[in-house]
Amino acid sequence: MRPPSRRGLTMLEVLVAAVILVAVVTMVMVIMSSASNRTTTETANLVMQAKATKLIDEISAELRMAKADTIVPIGPDLNLPVGPDPISNDTFQDPTNDNAVTPINPLSGPDFADFVSARARCPLNSEPESVTPPKPPKGKVQAGHARYPGIRFNTMVTDSMKIITDKDGKKVLSPVSELDFNTKKPLYNRTVVYESVLEPADYQGGIQEAIDGIDNNRNGLIDERMLTRQEYRNNPAPNPLPDPTPIARNLRGVAFELPTTGAPHQVIIHVMFQDVDSKGKVLWYHTSTSVSVRN
């Protein structure tokens, strides 16, 4: 026991206690910061997943009601009169990422025109997974298919509703389809067009988005696209046609994969969203689904 004249902490003990306290506080702050960043990233991924699921569900519901022989791709008509070209597999050197070779559209391949390494700002690359035996890169186009940035098809009008009795005896609302009273078959007199286009100038003073690795429209994202939807009756079609309406933004890419021959009784939809987390890291979420056309 210390004598009364030496009771209390020595200067050395005070310093040691202060160092321990600072270390504990620092450790707690690091843990909280890490947890916060992880939560923010996970939240962004969940939001992108929810948006992608909702978008694919909406497009799939319309495609299931479409007439198969009216489904046609939309793309740049570079080889007229042959028709729309698939999404280009061309690449560019990203000046903001040490000139890394980057695909113009990651959904074009990954049979890209040039080798794309994992360091490119792209969720898909040309490097196979590091497993034995090696697997092909993700996102390959099916044999006998091609991917396009848009699609057009005729479908049934389902705006009107009627009350019917379901299999359980309950009264429910059901869509009414317009019928040809001679053939007793539905009329596919509504045309729907989906098309992926580059984002326009943002309200923050940016300019039209371009594929150059730069945030041209100043919304925090790189080389992003949006998906537009256009709908009109085709018996006859109005003149002029209604303007397309944006239905999804912040997309790195959208693609509709169709067979290169024959009526497409199956359409594969690819959606790739992007977002930025709290640290400025670009995040991607890519998903796809196959839709069977019934008619």
- Is residue 237 a contact partner of residue 226, using CB atoms and an 8 Å limit? no
In a domain, 24, yes or no: no
In a domain, 66, yes or no: yes
In a domain, 176, yes or no: yes
Tell me the backbone φ, ψ of residue 286, rounded to 5 degrees.
-120, 130
Q: How far is CA 163 from CA 61, 167, 174, in A?
A: 21, 13, 6
Determine the Cα–Cα distance for residues 143 and 202; give it in Å rounded to an integer.
39
DSSP 76: -
Q: Write b or e for each residue in 122-133: b if 16 or more Cβ atoms lie within 10 A of its Cβ, otherwise e.
A: bbbbbeeeeeee
In a domain, 25, yes or no: no
Determine the Cα–Cα distance for residues 220 and 98; give it in Å rounded to an integer.
19
Q: Each residue's pLDDT tens digit in the chain (295 positions)?
A: 555 555 556 777 777 777 788 777 777 676 655 544 455 778 888 889 999 999 999 999 889 888 888 999 988 755 444 568 888 888 888 888 899 888 888 888 788 888 888 888 887 877 765 566 666 677 888 889 999 999 999 987 655 555 666 667 777 655 555 655 565 566 778 899 999 988 887 656 677 888 888 888 777 788 888 999 999 988 888 888 889 999 998 898 899 999 988 888 899 999 999 888 777 778 888 889 999 887 7
pTM for the model stands at 0.75
Determine the Cα–Cα distance for residues 251 and 198; give it in Å rounded to an integer.
9
Tell me, what's the pLDDT at 3?
57
Tell me, what's the pLDDT at 228?
94
Residue span of the structural domain in which 87 resides? 37-292
In a domain, 2, yes or no: no
| CA angle centred on 107, ends 106 and 111, rounded to 5° | 80
In a domain, 7, yes or no: no
Number of domain units in the chain: 1
Tell me, what's the pLDDT at 163?
60
Number of separate helices (H) and strands (E) present in the chain: 1, 14
Closest CA to 269 of 156, 178, 147: 147
In a domain, 29, yes or no: no
In a domain, 20, yes or no: no
